[in-house]
Amino acid sequence: MVTGKSVVVLGQGYVGLPLAVAAANAGWKVFGLEISESLVDRLNSGVSHVEDVSHLDLKRAISNHNYVATVEPEIAHSCSLVIICVPTPLDGDSDPDLSFVESAVKLVAGHLHPDALLISESTSYPGTVRDLIKPLVESIRSDKGIGVKYASAPERVDPMNAKWDMKITPRLVAGLTDEATELAHEFYSSFCDTVIKVSSPEVAESAKLLENTFRQVNIALINQLVPFCRTLGIDVREVVEAAGSKPYGFMKFYPGAGVGGHCIPIDPLYLLWRSRQLGIDLPFVESADKTNRDMPKYVANRLIELAGLKSGDKALVLGVAYKAGISDVRETPAHDVASHLLSQGVEVYWSDPLVLEFDSVKKWDASIPVKGAIVVTAQPGLEVESITGSGVPVLDCTGAYKGIKGVSQL
């Protein structure tokens, strides 16, 4: 028998686990569905692997009997909602890789209650819910999915953002039917202050891609100004701050070693892929992607110039997570910075207080002398001052160490 306030959240990563705990705190009976038994065991013991969910928050949801992790997809039959929160990376050709979404749908499709609402939070191209998820469910079920409802509610997760958490960040929802839209709205309104209905899943899916394409394009604009401002002998960050004093018509974006994470380097390429299918060019988006992908090579060459690095010299990459305050290294520009230095014969080391493993380069300790260092991400606890104190030049791509003797700004 299906229960009205029961939900399966498929995928218990950086999107799924915070969603599951938020829904549990709002009184929903939540089943966190995963394929890894070891992860399920850790979650059920109250151990969170996601920075935005504390061990205490997870244990509270468990003790209130509102959360349990499971590897059993059959649980979906007793739930009114099933939500897909799985990764949507790029494949080797930089095209959308929806294999995780397809696997998730196949895992639960046969177990869905005939009246269930299936929601996709996974970022994807417009048409994913209508043209991929719904037909896939229909092809699997003997009843052709008659009665199953579908909606899109793209995730808006910014890890470790203390200001914009899940409660106060507005959410978009849209179903393939009015009923699906209303049910999705009801669910998210139970723990989000603002839930906005849009006219179709395609609008919601496109809006998510636009959000991060907007960031990609504007970051690329500032990154293009870095060599321009350097040639003029002015600080590009000071220029941004000065422009940002205007109270209207401008938003501040900052330069860096590139873009990283699960959104900015990926979402615009989902948009490009779909536009090419439609025979439409998006040259701004293509140019922005190229500009930001070229930045790791640019900053690596700046370090080579600054420190006079030659083949066989040692260099240090400081801060390898894609964002300060987290341990996530997905799509981090630090990877390409290190790769370019290695291609020039430089021996590369890395240091990041929050990251346990990174690529195949060696982890640095203070006993290893280096000739130059580059700050890619301003993680707390980086030993910048002690490094410059030993006479090693540092290139800071973040602006966090401006004014420290021996530190050069991007």
Cα 238 → chain centroid: 28
Domain match, 140 and 261 both: no
Decide if pLDDT at 216 tops 80.
Answer: yes
pLDDT in the model for residue 182: 98
Which residue do the tokens 């590139």 mark? 258
Task: List pLDDT tens digits, range 63-106.
Answer: 999 999 999 999 999 999 999 999 999 999 999 999 999 999 99
Q: Are residues 312 and 382 in the same domain?
A: yes
Dump pLDDT digits (tens) for 259-302.
999 899 999 999 999 999 999 999 999 999 999 999 999 999 99
- Is 204 domain-assigned? no
Residue 2 has pLDDT above 60, yes or no: no
Query: Mean pLDDT, to the nearest integer, of 42-69?
Result: 96
Instruction: Decide if 279 is inside a domain.
Output: yes
Residues 50 and 185 in one domain: yes
DSSP notation for 56-73: HHHHHHHHTT-EEEES-G
Enumerate the active-site residues: 263
Q: Are residues 256 and 194 in the same domain?
A: no
Judge if 190 and 241 occupy the same domain.
Answer: no
Q: In this structure, are 315 and 177 located in the same domain?
A: no
Q: Per-residue pLDDT averaged across 37-43, rounded?
A: 97
Domain count, the chain: 2
Residue 331 lies inside a defined structural domain of this protein: yes
pLDDT of residue 159: 87
Q: Are residues 74 and 20 in the same domain?
A: yes
Q: Is residue 210 part of a domain?
A: no
State which residues form the domain around 314.
237-409
Q: Give a yes or no: residue 153 inside a domain.
A: yes
Q: Looking at the structure, do residues 74 and 148 belong to the same domain, yes or no?
A: yes
* In the predicted structure, residue 1 carries a pLDDT above the cut 70: no
Last residue in a domain, options 199, 215, 250: 199
Boundary of a domain, candidates 171, 199, 227:
199
The share of the chain scoring above pLDDT 90, in percent, equals: 96
Q: Is there a single domain that holds both residue 59 and residue 156?
A: yes
Contacts of 269-275 with CB under 8 Å at 24 or more apart are: 269/90, 269/94, 269/95, 269/96, 270/88, 270/96, 270/123, 270/124, 270/125, 270/209, 271/125, 271/206, 271/209, 271/210, 271/213, 273/95, 273/96, 273/125, 274/125, 274/126, 274/127
* Burial per residue of 234-250, b for 16 or more beta-carbon CB atoms within 10 angstroms, e otherwise: ebbbebbeeeeeeeeee
Predicted local distance difference test score (pLDDT) of residue 359: 84
Whether residue 213 lies inside any domain: the answer is no
Shared-domain flag, residues 51 and 160: yes
Would the pLDDT of 55 be above 50?
Answer: yes
Mean pLDDT of the chain: 96
- The per-residue pLDDT for range 111-143, each reduced to its tens digit, is 999 999 999 999 999 999 999 999 999 999 999
Q: Confirm whether 58 is domain-assigned.
A: yes
Q: Supply the pLDDT for residue 185.
A: 98
Q: What is the pLDDT of residues 155-182, one digit of tens each?
A: 999 888 888 999 999 999 999 999 999 9
Q: Which residue has the tokens 């039959």?
A: 77
Q: Is residue 226 part of a domain?
A: no
Using the 3D structure, point to which of 180, 199, 218 is the last residue of a domain. Answer: 199
Give the per-residue pLDDT at 48.
Answer: 96
Q: What percent of the chain has pLDDT over 70?
A: 99
At 27, which CATH number?
A: 3.40.50.720
Q: What is the largest CA-CA distance in the chain?
A: 72
pLDDT at 3 over 70: no
272 and 388 part of one domain: yes
Query: Are 61 and 113 within one domain?
Result: yes
